[in-house]
Chain A
Amino acid sequence: MIPENFKNYLINKGGLTLSEFDHLASSLQSKKVSKGHTFLREGEVCQQSFFVEQGLLRSFTIDDSGKEHIIQFAPENWFISERSSIFFNEPAEFFIEAIEDSTVVLIDKDFMIIAAELSAVFREYNERLLHNHIRHLQKRVNQLLSAPAEKRYLNFINLYPDLLLRVPQWMIASYLGITPESLSRVRKDLATKNFKQ
């Protein structure tokens, strides 16, 4: 089965030609998993990146008291991986897990290297993707250190418009680094401002 979203993504956004994609396609593997499937455990060395065709993944850590902290959500057309583990070949610092029944493309670490050798357009695109990822992380660090809860929430719904409908509130609070109570307060304040009966 050819993962259609991933194919469109590589061709329309990544600039691969159809024949370049066909050349690479044989090394791709797509996998249907149930909610709760773990793709990566903390401490393992991450061998693959994951592209979400359908469904929803998350990466998270568990602290010493057993509390989960969500680092990233990956809905349809998002990549998720443990980049430092893949690139530096070191133990992963977090888990990657499906939180909905999902179809996921497993991308070997060589895939991107070969694709970049094959296509200069893709190489440029992939570099841009990496910078985009760094930009996202920078913003996230800055926000976690300095932004009030409401601003964090507003940025969240801008980045992930439909996740409020798909994941429990505690996961969103965990991602935002606030308590479920303060997420509830933020949403209540917004509703007070915006709800007209």
Chain B
Amino acid sequence: MKTRSIEAIIAPPNAHYVGDGFRVHNFIPGGHNSGMQRMNPFIMLDYNSKFYFPPTDTPRGVGVHPHRGFETVTIAYKGSVAHHDSSGNSGVIKEGDVQWMTAASGVLHNEFHEKEFSKAGGDFQMVQLWVNLPAKDKMSKPKYQAITHDQINKFQLPQNGGSIEVIAGNYEGVHGTASTFTPVHLLNVHIKKGVKVPFSFPQNYHTALLVIKGNVKINGVENAPSDHFALFQNDGEAFNIEATEDATVLVLSGEPIDEPIAARGPFVMNTNEELSQAIKDYNMGKFGFLED
């Protein structure tokens, strides 16, 4: 099996705020100035590196906004987020949980730090990932997969070396908890210092990893410190990561969706006409209504 090599280790770009509750480094599409096709089906990745939010009675977050044409995946490492949408759904994403929301034809929602977390203040660390949908599914019905930490299937590494949480896809026969529209592997890798783990994904799959905690060496050569994003080339299948200190790493690999992308703010479609339609539908209340 051919080794997949690293294209770049990307340091966290300057943080910006999404609303007043998410202080994020954008790695996709901005991190490498590579646009949405480079890591397609992963078309956006915002990373709130560990950041302390002081106590407040008014929860911080992002007010009401729409989405259409893709899925949002929120992975909570520290802190918790409450969300509400215009269909009356709501929930809380707690530490270790994953929310896989298929916005598809349209969701209107808000996301705020959970009330108790806001009151107490604390460290906050999250990933929000946008996973593209193929044209045939872009207008399907919205749905949620609220996946709590204990529901995530895990592969235990030998000799207490750590575990691999299979959020989606599979690892060594362990299947992901979330269902996806196209082939996607999304793994939370927790490994102890000195442990080395192998990965292999088809050569054409766009592949990257984000070091959430600790420090890892990739393919025995490249060093990736915490909060850094490693972008792989499509020149092989296999790579390995070795923890040079106890580490948590998010690994993502997915089959590219070979279709054009037309994106505008919270809408990701295939054509400009579909974008205009999304804007029109939003203006006309077709995404529903949610009080600010």
A interface residues with partner B (beta carbon < 8 Å): 157, 161-162, 164-166, 169, 184, 187-197
Contact = CB atoms under 8 A, between A and B. Distances in A.
A190 B86 CA distance: 13
Interface string B258-288: 0000001110000000001001101111111
8 A-B pairs with least C-beta separation: A191-B285, A191-B289, A190-B285, A157-B283, A195-B288, A194-B285, A188-B289, A194-B286
Contacts of B264: 162
Interface residues of B, number: 20
Nearest to B88: A197
A169 B292 contact: yes
Contacts, number: 50
Contacts of B265: 162, 165-166
Given A164-B282, A188-B285, A196-B286, 17 more contacts: A161-B280, A162-B264, A164-B283, A165-B65, A165-B265, A165-B266, A165-B279, A166-B265, A190-B285, A191-B86, A191-B288, A191-B289, A192-B285, A194-B285, A194-B286, A195-B285, A195-B287
A192 B292 CA distance: 16
Contacts of A165: 65-66, 265-266, 279, 282
Secondary structure at chain B's binding surface: helix, strand, loop or mixed? loop
A161 B276 contact: yes
Interface of B: 65-66, 86-87, 264-266, 276, 279-280, 282-289, 291-292
A190 B279 CA distance: 15
A195 B286 contact: yes
B284 A194 contact: yes
